[in-house]
Amino acid sequence: MTNNNSSALAVDLCGLKLTSPLVLLSGCVGFGEEYTRVKGFSNSDVGAICLKGTTGEPRLGNPPHRIYETDTGMLNAIGLQNPGVDVVVDEILPKLDFTETNFIANVSGSTIEEYVKVTERFNDSPVAAIEINISCPNVKQGGAAFGNDPEMSARVVAACRAVTQKPLITKLSPNQTDIAENARRCIEAGSDAFSAINTLMGMAVDAERRRPVIGNNQGGLSGPAIKPVALLKVHQVYQACKEHAIPIIGQGGISCAEDAIEFMICGASAVGVGTALFYDPLICNKINQGISDYLMHHGLNSVTELTGSLQLNAPNWR
């Protein structure tokens, strides 16, 4: 790392020792090897890397277009393209250097049974933790996302909890009525941590053709456009789970050190970087340095002192 106060950036995330609060988000760096080809980048620059979403069987993903740049973000509808969990565990994981950073598996599925199968397979692997993507459509209930229903979310978490001893991180969807209630139910079911938030659903339209730009018609919106929503959701989840000391990986539009700091103030223990990597692959060192400078400027010894330090304004009823 380039910062001069690296020890102050260390974070404990449900037992994982992170040298930096930065986590590279699932789907943005492949299976952990993509950005190692960029001169000046190292996996050791970040505290953890979430691997690409993995399903029980190989998936080809959605038809093109899959990605579309918006004014202040990005729409994507990749469709969970991946080679399947057996290939990931048997062929991809052995090629990763697990001394560089923590690698976190990302589990996706169309049924609870598929979530269990993939989680169980990763349990017998060297990944440090397992992130459950509950934003996937439940094929047994008409395609409604598991993560938009607290009862279904809890059922997925409980089923995965039963087959792994590794830390479970539940990735919460913002596309639901009450994210705090969902978080509470997932804690009861055995979640050790949360990622908040997943992408917001959006659409882009080609006015000349009068058709959606994205081949899947709709996609997940990420980037700076969703940051205000993500900050609020992280705050709401933190308020719901702080008595249980459940850590949160805050994410949604982080593109500089100030963004990362704001998420931690709202309750995040670590922060996820994703869309920003597409236009600045070396942004992590800059964010690490900026956080370190902030800590020194404010006389703080550790980045952990920022978590949940938000002072809410008192209502002024006149």
> Which is catalytic among the residues 28, 50, 136, 284?
136
Predicted structure pTM score: 0.95
Q: Is 233 helix (H, G, I), strand (E, B) or coil?
A: helix
Closest CA to 191 of 131, 102, 106: 131
Q: How confident is the model at residue 317 (pLDDT cuts 50, 70, 90)?
A: low
Q: Under 8 Å CB-to-CB from 14, ≥6 apart: which residues?
A: 129, 167, 169, 192, 193, 247
Q: What is the pLDDT of residues 160-212, one digit of tens each?
A: 999 999 999 999 999 999 999 999 999 999 999 999 999 999 999 999 999 99
Is residue 2 predicted with pLDDT exceeding 60? no
Q: Which domains does the chain have, with CATH numbers?
A: 6-306 (3.20.20.70)
Nearest to 5 by CA among 297, 305, 289: 289
Three-state DSSP at 315 gives coil
Catalytic site includes residue 160: no
Tokens found for residue 56: 């029980």
pLDDT, tens digit, 9 for 90 and up, residues 138-168: 777 777 789 999 999 999 999 999 999 999 9
For the chain, give the mean pLDDT. 94
Question: What pLDDT, on a 0 to 100 scale, did the predictor assign at position 262?
Answer: 98
